[in-house]
Structure 1
Amino acid sequence: MVQVSLMANNASKNNTVDINVGQTKNIVVDPKVIAKIDINPEKIASITRDGNSAVIHLKDGTEIVLENFFISENPQILLNEGQIYWAANLAEDATGQTTVNYLELKEIPKYIDASSSVPIWSWVVSALAGAGTVALLSQQDAKDKTPPEPGKLSFQNLLDSGELTQDQITNDNKFNLKLSGQEKGSSVTYLISTDEGKTWQETTLNQKDLADGIYLYKAVVTDAAGNTSETAVQKVVVDTTAPQAGELTLSDLSDTGISATDQITQDKNFNLKLEGQESGSRVTYLVSTDEGKTWQETTLNQKDLADGIYLYKAVVTDAAGNTSETAVQKVVVDTTT
């Protein structure tokens, strides 16, 4: 998370905005205030101009859009990390490209009024830590404005369980991220979202013990010049919960004999029926003729059964490959007089 403060010459008029990693946030800047961002310049990939807006691109994918920023005659941005402060001076070169220089300050005034007759930049010159601090960083390199090759993000050691082996709906909650084909020498930041891409947080290559849920992943690749590119988003649905099995019954079975509910019958033709199972699940029907020692797959329609004892159950499998079994139903077929 990064914090942006809009500083006026009156502290009661100050305003603070928190921005999550990977989020794009638009902030309207009054020409009479100074925008202060709590971040080290090294974490900034670039600052560009879009109309009168300054767009600050961070290396982790976050974007801060300062609207009306260039309306001011002396547009500057104040940066700080702990007790260290920098002033970012934005200008345009001969080609019309936005250039940025960062100057480290000895101290910072309690309040800053951008409408003052003495702009912050004039104050900055006298507050420099030393001559060697001028142009600590120049974010706009006219020689390299090409975004780097982001490469391809994939999953390593992911068991894509379930009926479909490439849908990335799985009960595997431990796997790794893998990036290949990115620009050589670039730095990589891995991001994760658990709210369908609304917000992003930095993560690691190793994903471990994930809770059930939907996960989006992407990588932000930054080259030596500060240009950034993002990979395509990869989606994983982690589901380790067993599905609802439902209830297995015997349909169209005529329960002959003294008892009408003991399922000892002369009827050798009937159907299996399953109700209440998880929607979208796959069902396998099994039969055993050796009191449950072994099971074989069978069909819904039971026809011309020989005399004997039959056990039936259904195995329900969800999209992630989790399984549940119904209670066993027993039928005794006896047609012998």
Structure 2
Amino acid sequence: DVFLGAFDNPLLSPLEDQAVMPLAGLAEHGDRLAFTTDTYVVSPLFFNGGDIGTLAVAGTVNDLAVSGARPLYLSCGVVIEEGLPVETLRRVVASMKRVAAEAGVAIVTGDTKVVERGAADKLFINTAGIGVVPRGVAISAANARPGDVVIVNGTLGDHGTAILIARAQLALESDVPSDCQPLYSLVAAMLAACPDIHCLRDATRGGVATVLNEFAESSQVAIRIDETSLPLREDVKGACEILGLDPLYLANEGKLVAIVAPEAAPRVLAAMRAHPAGRGSAVIGQVAEEPRGMVVLRTGFGGDRIVDMLVGEQLPRIC
């Protein structure tokens, strides 16, 4: 009643132990399969701008999209704590249905488990996704080159701040919405402007700082960013000042970091700004040769500081 009523499609409706899709249909979109999985345990289940269902679909779609893949199919596994109101489950599933339709993916197989009260916190969701990478697209964290430009698609740290507020850990006069959204259509627009995007990753747990460190380490380059160029909401800035947090490490659920060749940067930036998910796109830095494997921030006071990889979890249960 709950899941089939929302997710019904030709691959799901036979209700076999697996979804079977023709390989010819996959090959129409490219020559390589992309496969990912993630598990969502966010607390609380509902927050400004989304819920655990929104995260479960958008997060897995985005993990496929940043490889350049077109997301096609998702699985949905849920672990439900005994006593969860069915209406709560319906709300979450309705969000999953809406975001899947927005992203152009089908939820084709799944599983449900109910555990004793106290064995889980209300609801956990696992989604795995399959997509196809177009021929000629070769995005990798190891592709950054000196002179390349670093671009983000909007304000940073919105999701992490939204979760803090939803937990009543932070009282702000204005309510910061999560940025949770599927990004495939934005990535498609970027690839249309420049098929040779060097690096691309969504900045979820660990934020932009973690993504940039992964790029710098994999490519053995330095990445230099400018604090004054970082797009930040005033509310997020205020939250970080109050709690002593760095917005570069706050989680995002609808933001990506791209590294492109300098000659392609104007085209990519224009394509991003023309898309609803990229209107706030900005150049935040550049790739350099030294110091290899490190990220360096030019502060608003004109000095430099090293931006290290985040150790541990700054905020638990954010996704």
Structure 1 length-normalised TM: 0.23
Choose between structure 1 and 2 for higher RCO, CA contacts under 8 A separated by at least 6 residues.
Answer: 2
Q: Looking at CA atoms only, which structure, 1 or 2, has the larger radius of gyration?
A: 1
Judging by fraction of residues, say which structure has more strand: 1
Judging by fraction of residues, say which structure has more helix: 2
